A = this chain, B = another copy of it.
Amino acid sequence: MLAPNPRVVFAKRPGTGLPVPGEHLVYDATRSIDLDAVPLNGGFLTKTLMLSPEPFLRERMRDLSVDSYSTHAVVGAPMVGFVLAVVLRSEKEGVNPGDHMYGLSHWEAYTVQPYMEGRVDFKAGNYPDWTGDTDSLIKLNAVPDPQGKYPWSSYFSVLGGPGLTAFCGLEAYGNAKKGETIYISSGASGVGSVLIQLAKEKGLRVIASAGSDAKVEYMRSLGADVAFNYKTTPVAAALKEHGPLDIYWDNVGGETVEAAIQYSRLHARFIMCGSISEYNLAPEACYGIKNLSLVFKKQLRIYGLLVGEHMTSLGPRFFTEVPALMAQGRLTVRETFTEGLENAADAFVKMLQAGGAEELGKPVVIVAKE
């Protein structure tokens, strides 16, 4: 059976601005695939059900001259990100038709796995603790059927990268003690929304910020004790009133970090997870942080977090504890669904416009029904 096999191609590097759908990310509907006859070469054929627009995809689009923790996205190859897919045919032992798989794959309707074109790679040097199968970071893994206890799309939020990131960062570096105060920037984001709930589970007092009043309400509904809109309340003013902080979780970078340093307590822990305010800026246009001397005066600890290096040590606990919390209804997630692969680039760009999107919750693109 010949089926259309549309994809989203990374057509051009966006430089320092936001990527533009149709220019940097191009929807290509010209391709097709023979689902019954396409050679599998010992692999398997997947149908993409959902995909997950996430900030780290922007990082991969950077100029070739800029080094970072991930390889560069390949111009001309399809976009690669986290997807949920179902297996249609398989020649690989242990992989069976009907299996649901989560992991990195192409933004396209059907893919012969393992995919190679435009392949993501995280540099080996980033994962000194990784003693298992390095490949499992960059390929699809079978995931259990939630059997109605939570939606399949949870694998993009609580049970996927964002949830893992929140869990591992807080466990590895938070040193959280009941009654302490954590401030979470981008509290309505994929990572932030899980983190608010995990922090409350630990008995922390939670301050959270986002860029719209609707998101403020959402963060309150997740349990934030103090939630504010950074567009109408300066971060420094909010932290002066509601701080000082024992833990700061950074998703945004820049001026917000400076305010958090200013209003942190002695021995506060900083977990640096992202800098969404700066992904689309040239280095010289980034905000200059002037109070770093407080790091020694307050004996702060600042930790750069990439979730991969904690997979071995904390992954097993995550996959035990978090599904249990979900089944008990103690972890919830709100999602914003976009229908159609042709709208994936738009959903991605909207997610990158920090605070710009009025939609709440984790963006998920529905590519196909089962």
- A residues near B (Cβ < 8 Å) are 59, 68-69, 123, 125-126, 128, 250, 253, 257, 266-267, 272-275, 278, 283-284, 286-306, 309
Contact = CB atoms under 8 A, between A and B. Distances in A.
A339 to B, nearest CB: 33
B299 A301 contact: no
Given A126-B266, A287-B288, A299-B69, A293 B278 contact: yes
A313 to B, nearest CB: 14
Contacts of A305: 296, 299
Given A278-B293, A290-B288, A292-B257, A266 B125 contact: yes
Contacts of A288: 287-290
A85 to B, nearest CB: 29
A69 B304 contact: no
A272 B267 CA distance: 13
A304 B297 contact: yes
25 contacts: A59-B297, A68-B297, A69-B297, A69-B299, A123-B266, A125-B266, A126-B266, A257-B292, A272-B292, A273-B296, A274-B296, A275-B292, A286-B293, A288-B288, A289-B292, A295-B302, A295-B304, A296-B304, A296-B306, A297-B304, A299-B305, A299-B306, A301-B302, A301-B303, A302-B303
Given A257-B292, A272-B292, 18 more contacts: A59-B297, A69-B266, A123-B266, A125-B267, A128-B267, A253-B293, A275-B296, A283-B291, A284-B290, A286-B293, A287-B288, A288-B288, A289-B290, A295-B302, A295-B304, A296-B304, A296-B305, A300-B302
B289 A275 contact: no
B297 A290 contact: no
Given A301-B302, A301-B304, A304-B300, A272 B295 contact: yes
Contacts of A278: 293
A309 B299 contact: yes
Which of A69, A278, A289, A309 lies at the interface centre, i.e. has the most chain B CB atoms within 10 A of its CB?
A: A289
A306 B272 CA distance: 22
Given A302-B301, A302-B302, A309-B299, A275 B290 contact: no
Contacts of A287: 288, 290
